[in-house]
Structure 1
Amino acid sequence: MKRSKLKLYGFNNLTKTLSFNMYDVCYASTEEERKKYIAYIDEQYSAERLTGILQKVADTIGAQVLNIAQQDYDPQGASVTMLIAEEEVEKQDVVAHLDKSHITVHTYPEMHPQDGICTFRADIDVSTCGKISPLKALNFLLRSFEADIVITDYRVRGFTRDVKGKKIFIDHRINSIQNYMAPDLRHAYDLIDVNVYQENIFHTKMLLHDFKLDNYLFDMTEKDFSPKEVKRIRRLLKQEMYEIFNGRNMPAIKD
């Protein structure tokens, strides 16, 4: 049944924030290959390309871009911050939007000092106020990064009022971030929810279903390793992924 449209007193100042930690895991067998992997990630996720992704996010949620700041870092990593508004604004109104609506991304390539495991993490925040919703960008961002592990949070903060003065702490139906996820993405991952409904806080962890070793090897294939090495590399990769997914160090996986 379609819900009647809320009639508000003044501006809808509910703040809605969608946050991601997205992880890509890879095995690079030598120091040279690990350096090549980091260089590849830096090229693939440069500040320029990340800016393009965030501009598409703004278009997807129907936001007006006010300002963009971007930075590549040495030796690796990039950051982009984009200030947005619900609609086109007059110059004198810009300040009112600075602390309310923004999109940011920060990247963190790193590697295990001994085992050849390399991990790329992208942290993304889409924060809006008013009618526009960051949830509209959920599927686009998941598809843009094709991550092995995703830790995502959605939170609605503050309140607005209807015309009679009654406080409204959330203006849409939701009991899980999965409600807004495309079916093909839901089916591609193992998902766990940890939600605090009374606080309008929603948390979903995602771990990719399929594990094909060739997808995790940089500049090599499974055929380049002995069966014993294949078993060891598979164990190392799964250990890394399970620990990231569970958010803690875990007992070693046995061969």
Structure 2
Amino acid sequence: MNMTMEQRITLHGFNNLTKTLSFNMYDICYSKTKAEREAYLSYIDEQYNADRLTQILRHVAEIIGAHVLNVAKQDYVPQGASVTMLVSEGPVMEVPTEALEESPGPLPNSVVIQMDKSHITVHTYPEYHPDEGICTFRADIDVSTCGEISPLKALNYLISSFDTDIMTIDYRVRGFTRDIHGHKLFIDHEIGSIQNYIPDEIKSLYDMIDVNVYQEHIFHTKCRLKNFDLNNYLFGYTREALSAEEEKAIIENLKWEMDEIFYGKNIP
């Protein structure tokens, strides 16, 4: 059911729709030696430890208007971290009509929304190839809410919180709610693409592919950084330290790695 901003629906009870944003980001790096790779992982572990991730998730909660009920966080050995945050509804206020429009960025600070049975999680996965010098850092974030407002409102902040070469973003609306006549509503806002929640200056940096299943309210967008500057992918040194043969081989390995991650398959 498509609804315009003029069609304000009176619901029977609470809005039971569950809206879930899954955000995966990848940072890719090349280092020559095992010691350098381990140094890169230590750097990533420090940059994105459980305390830093908790700060990011708390800000996400602020953006979507949630009250934090409980935080569980853990740093792992040898690397990686997790944070799980249980959040609840805030004081009930009138939600402005613009909150249902496709527009980038967080909601105004004055907006507090009604949510229940909601959570925000993040898990990190630093790793490296045993032979080829490739290191990858992946962060998986899920923002799942019940209520009127989509967690997509926090997407811009999440993108800006990580150094991202490749992003995979999924958004899905599950369940249903009812109007006062008992008629089921399986979605309560218009959405054509996740890209509509990403500002133009960010979109201009990435090649993007959409795979959407509109009838199932499933939206999927993959993003890959357009510009390739080798110096941004070297840890501890610059391309000036490389021979022409080394530089060519490293670029080939990095782009191969990025292709496989972006397309989700091994490329022979």
For residues 216 and 109 of structure 1, the distance between their equivalents in structure 2, rounded to whole angstroms, comes to 15
Contact persistence 2:125–2:139 (CA under 8 A): yes
Q: Does 1:203 align with 2:220?
A: yes
Which amino acid counterpart does residue 67 of structure 1 have in structure 2? N
Say whether the 8 Å CA contact 1:64–1:88 is kept in structure 2: no
Q: Any idea what SS the aligned residue of 1:145 has?
A: coil
Shift of 1:88: 5.3
User: What is the deviation of 1:7?
Assistant: 1.3
Distance (Å, rounded) in 2 between the aligned partners of 1:161 and 1:178: 29
Rounded to whole Å, the distance in 1 between the matches of 2:79 and 2:163 is 20
What is the percent sequence identity of the aligned residues?
A: 65
Contact 2:165 2:224 in 1 (8 A): yes
Aligned to 1:51: 54
- RMSD over aligned CA atoms reads 1.4
Which residue is equivalent to 2:73? Answer: 70
Residues 143-199 of structure 1: CA deviation (Å, up to 9, x unaligned) = 111310011100000000111111100000101111111111111110001111111
Q: TM-score, normalised by structure 1?
A: 0.93
SS in 2 for 1:48: helix
Match of 1:18 among 1, 17, 21: 21
- TM-score (normalizing by structure 2): 0.88
Which deviations, in whole Å up to 9, do the C-alpha atoms of 1:1-57 show, x marking residues without a partner?
743322111000100000011100000111111010000000000000000000000
Where does the alignment leave 5 or more consecutive residues of structure 2 unmatched?
Answer: 93-114
- Whole-Å separation in 2 of the counterparts to 1:67 and 1:168: 31
- In 2: Cα distance, 1:52 partner to 1:192 partner: 30
1:41 partnered with 2:44: yes
Q: Distance in 1 between matches of 2:6 and 2:81?
A: 42
Select the structure that is richer in helix: 1
Match of 2:238? 221
Counterpart amino acid of 1:178? Answer: Q
1:79 to 79, 82, 90: 82
In 1, Cα distance between the equivalents of 2:5 and 2:172? 23
Cα distance between partner residues in 1 of 2:170 and 2:122:
15
The runs of 4+ residues in structure 1 deviating greater than 3 Å are: none
- Identify the residue that residue 7 of structure 2 maps to in structure 1: 4
Where structure 1 has 5 or more consecutive residues not aligned to the other structure, the ranges are 90-95
